[in-house]
Amino acid sequence: MKVINFGSLNVDHVYRVPHAVAEGETLACGSLQKLMGGKGLNQSIAIAKAGAKVIHGGLIGDEGQFLVDFLSESGVDVSKIGHTDEPQGHAVIQVNDNGNNCIIVFGGSNQCVTKEYIDDLLSETEEGDIVVLENEVSNIDYIMARAHEKKCPVVFNASPIDDKVVALDYSNVDWLIINEIEGAAIAKTDSIDDIIPEITKKYPEISVVLTLGEEGSICYSKGQVYRQKAYKADVVDTTAAGDTFLGYFVAGLINGDDMQTILKTASAASSIAVSIMGAAASVPTVDKVKEYLKNIGE
């Protein structure tokens, strides 16, 4: 089995700041880095580094070739990545002294994923292949529906959250991966405890993974609830924490690991990622994750 990831490809402009800039404020930054990013790119790299075969589906503009090269060097199949005349997707990221971030995303080339492109890529899938997507590319509802028709489990990371995501029909989603903000919006609740019950009441067949930062994660699947603690880390940059978690989670599904092992491994990988500056560059290899778990006695 393999993973098809319809994902964004961004150039990240990362500004180190004492705090997120407020309305009307002019703020000097301590440093600027130009990095490879996009939730899709980060997730493909995490899936590959976790040991699973992943084909990346997406489009680049004229500035994007170095993103493709980096994906290829990281073990991702880039043979299906296309080109568009639209400007390259990019993000403006503020990272404060505590390692927390604020992000502005320009879709650009990522919003040019057409139904024809989707059909072409999905024509090469086999039953049981996993389709991954997030909310930084176009036609996500169409991807879900077509993947479901082909009996390919859909893993959807409902991020970044917006009205379009809240209004989606989740009946074609097998695994919904969300944080508490995304979950509260989709479930239409102010209570974290009600997020999973509200979503699964409307969509009884869906499995939900709710990530809770320092509080760890909760997974509901087929009537079972799994809980996983977060591992302590010296937080430097949280930008790719969720993408790293998702990548290792999906690789665990492909490998057929038991759910508790999947959550433990994904949590450990995420903890390593937040201790390293940058997005894609912070995703650890599977050997590093295994060593980390061994060193902490897990």
Longest CA–CA span in the chain (Å) reads: 53
Cα–Cα distance, 236 to 233 (Å, whole number) = 9
- Taken in order 165, 171, 173, 174, the sign of the CA dihedral is positive
pLDDT digits (tens, 9 = 90+) for 9-61: 999 888 999 999 999 999 999 999 888 888 999 999 999 999 999 999 999 99
- pLDDT tens string 284-296: 999 999 999 999 9
- Its pTM stands at 0.91
CATH of domain 3-9+39-88+111-295: 3.40.1190.20
pLDDT digits (tens, 9 = 90+) for 148-191: 999 999 999 999 999 999 999 999 999 999 999 999 999 999 99
Instruction: Confirm if 176 and 199 have CB atoms less than 8 A apart.
Output: yes
